[in-house]
Structure 1
Amino acid sequence: MARERATALLLDFDGVLRRWDPAVAAVVEREYGLSEGVLGEIAMQWGRLQPVLTGQVNHAEWMTSVADALAESVGSPERARAAVEQWQSYRGEVDQEVLAFVREARAAGIRVGLGTNATDLLDADLAALGLVGELDVVVNSSVIGVHKPAPEYFKAACVALATPPARVLCVDDEDWAVRGARSAGLSAHRWGGHADLRYLRAALDY
């Protein structure tokens, strides 16, 4: 049985619409004598990350916990806080080809939602990156209190999009999120880069 044509798009933020240059963190780590990749490793430890993604702590508290974990490595709490602050001053870059696709889809009548596991800093990031008004809805895990790949997250996203799951196409760069979306009844595509845009245009049929 053929699926219904998607009339809404749920787009992941990090790794799809926003890109991160790993060289930025590497510069900070070298400057402070840290091992390569340690900032991301500490920040992404699940016990530290999960509370901020569900709104139990805010972004600043999360980063304080990262600095606390780094303090011994850099010699003092002050240096640790400075390293984290320098690292966090970079907020990524918009993928302009993906943004052009978003604009094109919306112009064709497709509702586009940003579906992301994010912190309370998301709105400020969207503003800083010039993305305010570029999306129909924003579904932030820290606001709704549940994160991908939980079915409750995707249910909330479909409600926000005012579109039944069978008519929502989710695009994410993580396999676990794609599986979660499919389990919740959405169509889902694992993002592999700009070459995928042709397929997505065909899937949306506009």
Structure 2
Amino acid sequence: MSRERATALLVDFDGVLRRWDPEVVAGVERRYGLAEGALLETAMQWGRLQPALTGQVSHADWMAGVAEALTEPAGGAERARAAVDEWQRYRGEVDADVLGFVREARAGGIRVGLATNATDLLDDDLAAFGLAGEFDAVVNSYRLGVNKPAKEYFRAACQAVATPPDRVLFVDDEDWSVRGARAAGLSAHRWTGAADLRYLRAALAY
């Protein structure tokens, strides 16, 4: 039996709506004598990252932990803190094509939520990008206390857009997150780039 057409859309932030230029972090690492990939590798270690995504520690505390872990290879605590601070001043860029798609979908009657694993910095980032009013709901793992790909996360996200799971289309760039959404009963598409927008528009048919 075929599924009913989705009437709500959940879009991931990092990797879908927000893009990151890898040259920025690489430049910081070169300037501070860090090994290539050290900043992201250190920050994304799950035991360090997950507490920041679920409201156990703040973004600032997470970054302080990254700086502490980098102290030895960076040549001292002050140098490590400076490297992390410079890296964090770069907040990425909004993908104009994805933002246009979000606006089109909402104009066509689709409820759109931002569904992201994020920290307490999310609201500030959205305000800085002028995105605060672009969604019907913002579902931040930090506020929920649970992160994708947990079923509880997707249950809360569907409630936030007031739509049952089988009528929600979720878009994310991570396979594990897409699998989690499908296990929770949502339709889900793994984002690979702007070429996917044609399929997503057709899937929603707004």
Do they superpose with TM above 0.5?
yes
Q: TM-score w.r.t. structure 1 length?
A: 0.99
Amino acid at match of 2:190: R
**Is 1:131 aligned to residue 131 of structure 2?**
yes
Using the alignment, how far apart are the partners of 2:75 and 2:176 within structure 1? 38
Using the alignment, how far apart are the partners of 1:160 and 1:102 within structure 2? 16
Q: Which residue in the other structure is 1:23 paired with? A: 23
Shift of 1:205: 1.1
Is there any run of 5+ residues in structure 1 with no aligned partner, and where? none
Using the alignment, how far apart are the partners of 2:167 and 2:130 within structure 1? 28
Q: Which residue in the other structure is 2:13 paired with? A: 13
Q: TM-score w.r.t. structure 2 length?
A: 0.99
Amino acid at match of 1:62: W
Using the alignment, how far apart are the partners of 2:46 and 2:134 within structure 1? 31
Shift of 1:76: 1.3
Using the alignment, how far apart are the partners of 2:22 and 2:128 within structure 1? 19
Shift of 1:91: 0.4
Alpha carbon RMSD of aligned pairs, Å?
A: 0.5
Aligned residue runs from structure 1 range 60-99, under 5 A: 60-99=60-99
| Cα shift readout 1:141-185 (whole Å, capped 9, x = no counterpart) | 010000000000000000101000000000000111110000000
Identity across the alignment (%): 76
Using the alignment, how far apart are the partners of 2:121 and 2:80 within structure 1? 21
**Is 1:52 aligned to residue 60 of structure 2?**
no
Using the alignment, how far apart are the partners of 1:35 and 1:74 within structure 2? 9
Runs of 4+ in 1 over 3 A off after TM superposition: none
Amino acid at match of 1:31: R
Q: Which residue in the other structure is 2:153 paired with? A: 153
- 1:181 aligned counterpart, secondary structure: helix
Amino acid at match of 2:80: A
Aligned residue runs from structure 1 range 158-177, under 5 A: 158-177=158-177
Shift of 1:74: 1.5
Shift of 1:130: 1.4
- 1:192 aligned counterpart, secondary structure: coil
**Is 1:37 aligned to residue 63 of structure 2?**
no
